[in-house]
Structure 1
Amino acid sequence: MEWKPNFNEKKPVYKQIAEYIELKISTGDYLAGSKLPSERALAKELKVNRSTIIAAYEELRAAGIVTRREGSGTHVSADIWGLSHQRTPNWNRYVEYGSFLPNDPLARRIRKETQEKNIINFATGELSADLFPSSYFQQLLAEKPFDGYLGYDHPQGNLSLRETIVSHVREFKKVETSASSVLITSGAQQALHLIVQCLLKPGDAVAIEDPSYSFSLPLFQSAGLRTFLLPVDEHGVKPEDILSLYQKHRIRMVFLNPDFQNPTGTVLHLERRKEILELSSLYGIPIIEDDPYSLTSFTGKINPTLKSMDENGNVLYITSLTKIVASGLRIGWIIGPDTVIERLADAKQQIDFGHSIFPQWVAEQFLSSDSFSSHIVSLRNELKRKRDLLVASLKEQIGSKVRFHVPEGGIHLWVKLTEDIDENKLLEAAIKHGVAFVPGRLLGSEKGWMRFTFARPEAETIQEGIDRFAQALYLFD
């Protein structure tokens, strides 16, 4: 056998072997009913462990391609091309071969563990249920039952909601736009997905912050994009780094989270905002501004968004109600040039025929009510209280073992371990103690960082959560 498995490939060796044997069967090199090489003989020939061959043969057996009987070896199914033999699709192979990549295994593990009731959850980037404006929604549904049309709505989203958003962003974000320039999406993540799929092509270079939420998203890799990192310091990304990446790689798009950035909590300095917009205009580089947190500013001061400063239409602006109202509403929106919005709306219609009308109605009622402003004030106060509880608990129970920048808004605390401890192993220990966080490697390239989301746990559980984390941390002394 001239073929040999590639030990440097990410795909497990046993799967490579199973696929090669299946190919040999399909081309007639191994005939129906014929006996395949013994496990020992094939292992010796391919220079692998016998257990690897056993796993490969078992993969083929599960797919109905071979039969295995103790004492008689492994045979190609005698009726592999016949009508009587029923083959089961190799679903594992289909799952692995899809072009849309899965989330990182560690991210999937965290999501699974945080479903457990005994876990104090500093990992999930959302509000706790007590921060939702549930009483308003209950009152709304009691006093004003929904009587709207439940069919397909406009591809860009409900017109009343889009008009309300125009007024909302003018009042709170100083952004001037029109309903035709707004697309309603299923949260900010769908907005990012639509932009990547519709406005870029495989091989394009894009710049993302390091660390950032975008770092954790496989959608860039699924689309075949080349991602380049922009280091984030205490004032955000540096304009000169964007220029350098453009000169070296001709980046086609820059993704930024300027206010209370996820995960660092930093704010992009005003002068840097101006310089970045100048670069964007000079070189024609689109800026994707993701703004989930600016309204959470604990001081009440809202920085000018890049979109509000954009005089040339270079910024696509994304925001949502996920981080400030309720994640389950799945209401987000994109603001941009009409031609871009129409292109993205066409793609969204192909995916889901437009957004569900009921959550759009709820969102429109809430955004246009006086209750929205009072909710934001209450949210800021509660988030600040939770932040202070988290900071105080870390200082009291862990002290010099960690350091961090205290954010003035948002929902995340970016924490640096001052000792050389593997944050992935620390997570495993923490989960055993009943608490979860996000290891920094999911969000950035540097080691030894962790993200604690203070919005997700109930306020009364924060101190207990850090106590559990401290018990896990001290195991590494």
Structure 2
Amino acid sequence: MTWKPQPNTEMPIFRQIFHYYENQIINGMLTPGAKFPAERELAAMFSVNRSTISAAFEELRAAGLVATKVGSGTRVSELMWETKPYHSPNWQRYTINRMYDPGLILQNQIHKAASKPNMINMTKGELSPDLMPLEFLKKLSSQLDFTQPYSYHDNFLGDPKLRGSLIEHLAKQQIHTSTQQLLVTSGVKHSLHLIAHTLLQPGEAIAVEGPSYLYAMQVFTAAGLRMVKIPMDANGLIPEAIPELYHKYRIRMVFTNPTFHNPTGTTLSLERRRALLAICEQLRLPIIEDDPYGMLHLDSPQTPPPALRALPSGEHSVIYLGTMSKFVTPGMRLGWIVAPLEVINKLAEAKNRTGYSSSHAGERLAQLYLDSPSADTQLNLILLALISRRKVLLSTLQDQMAHYATLAAPYIPAGGFYVWLKLKTPVPDRIIIEACINQGVLVYPGSIYGAEKGFFRLTYASIGESEIVEGVRRIKAALKRLQVKGDL
């Protein structure tokens, strides 16, 4: 063999090798079914790295010129030679996952199993259909005004009437702002996407509670940001840890879910909230406060501390995120951002530039919901059901699981959707997931949220009381089976 790729040309070496074999195949020098040497041999033959050979053959496979079969190697494709090979784009190169997501395989395994019949799903972070105020929304939808056109908004902030209603809604939570400082989004994930891609740069570091649902969402990783864990205890994040993280990693923002935290259920005390604000103010660090569960306090009349945004200095240093997904329905795809005026203007420009407009019909329906005198009644019905379901879950855990697991926090979560459990004997998450799936129940393990092995999260919001009892019984059966096998 005399041909060699030329290193001093504009064309990458892998492309030169691709074109060499492409011509050999199309011109009939390599016949259908002809077998190629192993990649290691070819690398030595061409005096290149093996990865270069792999890239070249990836292109050949994408073009339909070669086929690789386990056990028989790579051969020239045996297509009909009267037909010219079709040069399609190399979709594998476009679709390859470039993010490091250690929980992706586990999440995919859980989501795939969710479609199996009779599976009890204790992972979903939403209200069950019977708790969603669907009939109420149906009645409200008859009041939608269709005399006004559903055209592009001139104001990228969102529907003016809805923003007015949201201002009144937030005032009930002691968050006082103006309509010009509020941006309507398509939910918290959309809000986080706008912040990550507009206010931050790839490679920058942000501080996030560890564990946190944000590790599972992967919004920040997709934006090229580095997540640094803020240590937590049973009372939430530890503010005093932030200065060290700031100096060590040069963090640019702090992201927190301080009220009924997902997944641990903890609530940051008023004292720690004030300390967090003071420390971040001293370091000139913005705080992103994610508050999807703040209205879902289940230990009335006791209420959680005020939002960070509602405290003194919070107005100047906190970007507040809210959503209707947790107390109405996720399908409305409606959230909001409250922030200083210059930040809102920048985020609104990005929202318009990327075309991420929320549904105008959804905005108008949300406005009718928030303005309705019956909205509080609907919320109270949801709270009563969640209180009952939480009680059933906790009592069933005590009855069925005391030998295997304990609450990770020393107290009952005062609100939200979740209970955070810790196994008495840690087991790799993959083993727990597979054992639970075999018993017909789905749980989310701690590693998905950035926690070490031995933790898992259960929801009491998305399933009924009888399913809660049966789900816990199945988890116990899975753990008991692992114990018999010696894995627990």
Q: Which amino acid aligns with 1:169?
A: L
- Whether the aligned pair in 2 keeps the contact of 1:156 and 1:354 (CA below 8 Å) is no
Letter of the 1:87 partner, please give it.
H
Pairing partner for 1:399 from 399, 402, 408: 402
AA aligned to 1:423 is D
Change (3 A) 1:79 1:94: farther
Q: CA deviation at 1:45?
A: 6.5
145-154 vs 429-438, which deviates more?
Answer: 145-154
Cα separation, partners in 2 of 1:471 and 1:101, compared to 1, 3 Å: closer
Corresponding position: 1:23 with 2:15: yes
Contact 1:103 1:217 in 2 (8 A): no
Describe the shift of the 1:157–1:128 C-alpha distance in structure 2 as closer, same or farther (beyond 3 A): same
* Cα distance change on mapping 1:409 and 1:61 into 2, 3 Å: same
Deviates more, 1:27-36 or 1:323-332: 27-36
Over the matched positions of the two proteins, sequence identity in percent amounts to: 35
Give 1:105's aligned amino acid.
I
Deviations 1:250-295 (A, max 9, x none): 2100000000100000011111110111112111100000001111
| Residue 426 of structure 1: how far off its partner (Å) | 1.3
Alpha-carbon distance in structure 1 between the residues aligned to 2:348 and 2:206: 22
Q: Is this contact kept in 2: 1:440–1:451, CA < 8 A?
A: yes
Letter in 1 for 2:473: D
Whether 1:323 and 2:329 are equivalent positions in the alignment is no
CA distance in 2, matches of 1:56, 1:412: 49
Gaps of 5+ in 2: 2-11, 45-52, 484-488
For 1:339 and 1:316, locate their aligned partners in 2 and report how far apart those are by CA, in whole Å: 12
Secondary structure of 1:295's aligned partner:
coil
**Aligned: 1:341 with 2:333:** no
Provide TM-score, normalisation by structure 1: 0.86
Contact 2:30 2:76 (C-alpha < 8 Å) held by counterparts: yes
Moved more, 308-317 or 449-458: 308-317
Matches within 5 A, 1:266-277: 266-277=266-277
Conserved 8 A contact 1:31-1:76 = no
Contact 1:32 1:78 in 2 (8 A): no
Q: Which residue of 2 aligns with 1:476?
A: 482
In the alignment, does 2:359 pair up with 1:362? Answer: no
- 1:339 match: secondary structure: helix
Change (3 A) 1:40 1:244: same
Question: For the structure 1 residues 117 and 169, does the alpha-carbon distance in structure 2 shift closer, same or farther, using more than 3 Å as the test?
Answer: farther
The within-5 A match list for 1:129-208 is 129-142=129-142, 146-153=146-153, 154-171=155-172, 173-208=173-208
Cα 1:137–1:147, aligned 2, differ >3 Å: closer, same or farther?
farther
Counterpart of 1:6? Answer: none
Task: Tell me what 1:32 maps to.
Answer: 24
Match of 1:399, SS state, is: coil
Aligned to 2:460: 454
How far apart in 2 are the matches of 1:59 and 1:432?
Answer: 40
Deviation sequence 1:304-334 (CA, Å, 0-9, x none): 0000014251100001011111111111000
* 3-state SS of paired residue (1:191): helix
**Structure 1 range deviating more: 102-111 or 255-264:** 102-111
Secondary structure at the aligned position of 1:206 is classed as strand
Cα distance between partner residues in 2 of 1:73 and 1:470: 48
Residues 15-414 of structure 1 mapped to structure 2, 5 A cutoff: 22-26=14-18, 28=20, 31-33=23-25, 34-35=29-30, 38-39=35-36, 42-43=39-40, 60-66=60-66, 74-75=75-76, 84-96=84-96, 104-142=104-142, 146-153=146-153, 154-171=155-172, 173-300=173-300, 301-311=303-313, 313-352=316-355, 354-404=357-407, 405=409, 406-414=412-420
Per-residue deviation, 1:217? 2.5
Q: Equivalents in 1 of 2:373, 2:74: separation in Å?
A: 76
Mapped partners of 1:149, 1:355: distance in 2: 15
Secondary structure of residue in 1 paired with 2:233: coil
Alignment partner of 1:428 out of 413, 434, 449: 434
Give TM-score, length-normalised by structure 2. 0.84
Could you tell me how far apart the structure 2 residues matched to 1:353 and 1:432 are?
40
CA RMSD of aligned residues (A): 3.3
CA deviations on 1:78-101 (whole Å, 9 max, x unpaired) are 999xx9431232222210166898
**Structure 2 residue identity aligned to 1:227:** M
User: C-alpha offsets along residues 52-78 of structure 1, whole Å, 9 cap, x if unaligned?
Assistant: x99996883453243799x99845999
- Partner secondary structure for residue 416 of structure 1: strand
Q: 1:430 to 1:59 in 2, by over 3 A?
A: farther
Name the CA shift for 1:72/1:436 in 2 (closer, same or farther; >3 Å): closer
Q: Structure 1's 322 and 72: CA in aligned 2 closer, same or farther, altered over 3 A?
A: closer
Residue 334 of structure 1 aligns to a residue whose secondary structure is: strand
Deviates more, 1:428-437 or 1:184-193: 428-437
Distance in 1 of aligned mates of 2:21 and 2:112:
44
Q: Which amino acid aligns with 1:170?
A: A
